[in-house]
Amino acid sequence: MTLPVETQSPETDPKSVARAIVLRKLTHAPRTRSELFKDLKKKNVPEEIAIEVLDRFTEIGLINDELFASMWTGSRHTYKGLAPRAIAYELQQKGIDRSLIDEAVSVITAEQELIAARKIAIRKLKSCVDQSPEATLRKIVSALARKGYGANIAFQVAKEVTRLDPELSIEEQLNPEPLTDLN
């Protein structure tokens, strides 16, 4: 357990303590500048020292909120199926600047958003086998809403997925082969 900066021995440099805290936090996982600043405040590091240390770590590239936002967006959309709105909220909670958030989530296209929503809806559909059509639709819309999808996309995808023919594969129905010109 680390003692607060002011209770440590006089020979301990607060800047060294701050650097050690930041390095330890960055070793476990990438962090935003805001998160690290809060961590330093909790450890009673003086604000001017915290800012100086964070500026230096930013200067050498160990703290990069733009890269963090980009990586977070890709990961949360790809692996959790989150919509841009939900990802933006998470990044905001992590202290990322609004302009960086907008830039990071703008890489998710409408098509990618629909594909991710369909995957979530299909997973939910498989767990609603013995449900009424209304209950299935409601559960799919709710699942999509929890992932940050707006009502329009949620209802569109839920209706699309609940109309699937159980005799055909889901992939064939959602991504039909383009019609070829017979002329």
Binned at pLDDT 50, 70 and 90, residue 129 comes out as confident
Examine the fold and report which residue of 38, 59, 80 is the final residue of a domain before the chain moves on: 59
The answer to which of 54-63, 131-140, 141-150, 162-171 has the lowest mean pLDDT is 162-171
Do 52 and 34 lie in one domain? The reply is yes
Judge whether 70 lies within some domain: yes
Do 101 and 114 lie in one domain? The reply is no
Predicted confidence at residue 133, as pLDDT, reads: 86
Predicted confidence at residue 2, as pLDDT, reads: 52
pLDDT tens figures, 30-41:
999 999 999 999
Do 165 and 115 lie in one domain? The reply is yes
Judge whether 3 lies within some domain: no
- pLDDT(170) > 70: no
Instruction: Write the CB contacts of 54 (distance below 8 Å, at least 6 apart in sequence).
Output: 22, 33, 36, 37, 40, 63
Predicted confidence at residue 166, as pLDDT, reads: 54
Q: What is the mean pLDDT of the chain?
A: 87
Report how far residue 86's alpha carbon sits from residue 146's, in angstroms, rounded to the nearest whole number: 9
- pLDDT(96) > 70: yes
Domain count, the chain: 3
Q: Which of 81, 76, 112 is nearest to 94 (CA)?
A: 76
Judge whether 181 lies within some domain: no
Do 156 and 116 lie in one domain? The reply is yes
Do 100 and 114 lie in one domain? The reply is no
- pLDDT(128) > 50: yes
Predicted confidence at residue 5, as pLDDT, reads: 53
Binned at pLDDT 50, 70 and 90, residue 13 comes out as confident
Do 94 and 78 lie in one domain? The reply is yes
0.85 surpassed by pTM: no
Judge whether 23 lies within some domain: yes
pLDDT tens figures, 141-160:
999 999 999 999 999 999 99
Range of the domain at 26: 13-59
Judge whether 97 lies within some domain: yes
Judge whether 174 lies within some domain: no
Judge whether 87 lies within some domain: yes
Report how far residue 97's alpha carbon sits from residue 95's, in angstroms, rounded to the nearest whole number: 6
Do 117 and 96 lie in one domain? The reply is no
Q: How many residues does the chain have?
A: 183
Do 126 and 95 lie in one domain? The reply is no
- pLDDT(24) > 70: yes
- Cα 67 to chain center, whole Å? 13
Judge whether 175 lies within some domain: no
